Amino acid sequence: MIKSSKSIKAIIGLLGGAVVLGGCNAPTFGAFRGATTQGHDEFKLWVGFVIAGIAVAAIVWGLIFWAVARYRRKGDEIPRQFHENVPLEIIYTTLPIIIIGVLFYFTVVTENQVDAVASHPSEIVHVLAYRWGWRFSYYNQNNTSQGVAIQTAAEPKLLAQPATSSQYPQLVIPKGETVRIVLNSADVVHGFYVPAFNFSRYALPGVTNVFDFTPTQIGIFRGQCSQYCGLYHSEMLFSVKVVSPAAFTKWVSGKQMAQNQSGGSK
Ligand SMILES: [Cu+2]
């Protein structure tokens, strides 16, 4: 008896520890932790869904195995037969509704956080998706062009390189600041997808999608088109480089100088 209560305590301790350590060591259940505040909110929602799923699965499988063991055939004995059980029916109708209600609530809260756009973002980047590449044009807080535009070569080639290769365009953004992305497509439907940010959004011709990123980690993250858009879809790669705000300012002025010297547009 003492032994079993000890092992129960150990299990509870392990589970509690896993939840407390959630920030760094807990399993991610296949998702990215999210290198932006928005992406991390998505990650927390995902973990909540998986834990809820595990809990439901444990109850369902537990009841199945309990019923299999408890009511297995013993000679000619037949379990008690009954037609209805009102309390049981109320429980199995209301419990799923409550579970769905809770999951729905957290989904709406998270979506509102992810879709929220700041009234005064630190940087604005217009992203144009086209067959088969990306153009990133930088604007300041007043939505005035900073004269910096980055895009891939007009002639697509089968490069078959990782997305972080310098052959593909790179979106440079500062860490810890709110970056507004203004997303459009020049031709067909594309998808702006950054796995490490747990974020994907359609790039649509004639429709402007606007969203904010607040990067929390310095690094280079791969990005890709997530909608099949034709022959060189697989080459529609890019990367996102998150740098310190000081390094970002330096990068912008460096680009401005280079692009002014080469005659403005590139
Ligand atoms: Cu595409």
Domain ranges of the chain: 31-115, 123-261
List CB-based neighbours of ion ligand 1 within 5 Å.
190, 225, 229, 236
Q: pTM for the full model?
A: 0.82
Q: Which structure tokens are listed for 34?
A: 């999210």
Tell me how far the alpha carbon of residue 214 lies from the centroid of ligand 1, in angstroms: 24
Q: How far is the CA of 131 from the centre of ligand 1 (A)?
A: 6
Q: Is residue 99 classed exposed, middle or buried when 0-12, 13-18 and 19+ CB atoms within 10 A define those classes?
A: middle
- Please give the pLDDT value at position 152: 81
CA 134 / ligand 1 centre spacing (Å) = 9
Between the CA of 237 and the centroid of ligand 1 the distance, in Å, is: 9
Closest-CA residue to 143 (of 130, 125, 158): 125
Q: How confident is the model at residue 46 (pLDDT cuts 50, 70, 90)?
A: very high
CB atoms within 10 A of CB 197: 23
- Can you give the pLDDT at residue 7? 56
Least confident segment among 31-40, 152-161, 173-182, 247-256 = 152-161
Q: How far is the CA of 124 from the centre of ligand 1 (A)?
A: 22
pLDDT at 212 over 90: yes
Question: What confidence score (pLDDT) does residue 74 get?
Answer: 82
**CATH H-level superfamily of 123-261:** Cupredoxins -  blue copper proteins (2.60.40.420)
Residue 266 pLDDT class (50, 70, 90 cuts):
very low
Q: Give 231 Cα–ligand 1 centroid separation in angstroms.
A: 10
Can you tell me the mean pLDDT for 86-92?
94
Distance 170 CA to ligand 1 centre (A): 16
Tell me the average pLDDT across 29-52: 94
**Centroid of ligand 1 to alpha carbon of 24 (angstroms):** 34
Q: How far apart are CA 197 and CA 37, in angstroms?
A: 9
CA–centroid distance, residue 203 to ligand 1 (Å): 8
Q: Quote the ligand 1 centre to 210 CA distance (angstroms).
A: 18
Mean pLDDT, the chain, whole residue set: 88
Average pLDDT, integer, range 177-190: 96
Report CA(228)–ligand 1 centroid distance (Å). 6
Confidence of residue 2 (pLDDT cuts 50, 70, 90): very low
Q: How far is ligand 1, taken at its centre, from the CA of residue 246, in Å? A: 32
CA–CA separation, 132 and 153 (whole Å)? 9
Determine the distance separating the centroid of ligand 1 and the alpha carbon of 166, expressed in angstroms.
19
pLDDT of residue 81: 85
Give residue 264's pLDDT.
47
Residue 195's φ and ψ, nearest 5 degrees, are -55, -45
**Domain 31-115 is found in CATH 1.10.3470:** no
3-state secondary structure the chain: CHHHHHHHHHHHHHHHHHHHHHHCCCCCCCCCCCCEHHHHHHHHHHHHHHHHHHHHHHHHHHHHHHHHHHCCCECCECCCCCCCCHHHHHHHHHHHHHHHHHHHHHHHHHHHHHHCCCCCCCEEEEEEEECCEEEEEEECCCCCEEEEEEECCCCCCCCCCCCCCCCCCEEEEECCCCEEEEEEECCCCEEEEEHHHCEEEEECECCCEEEEECECCCEEEEEEECCCCCCCHHHCEEEEEEECHHHHHHHHHHHHHHHHHCCCCC
Give the model's pLDDT for residue 25.
66
**pLDDT score for 263:** 62
Does 123-261 match 31-115 at the fold level?
no
Would you say residue 155 has pLDDT above 70? yes
CA of 227 to the centre of ligand 1 (A): 6
Compute, in angstroms, the gap from residue 202 CA to the centroid of ligand 1.
Answer: 10
Answer yes or no: are the C-beta atoms of 222 and 250 closer than 8 Å: no
Task: Determine the average pLDDT of the residues in 56-76.
Answer: 91
* Token reading at 76: 């000619």
Lowest-pLDDT choice from 8-22, 43-57, 64-78: 8-22
Mean pLDDT of 46-60: 95
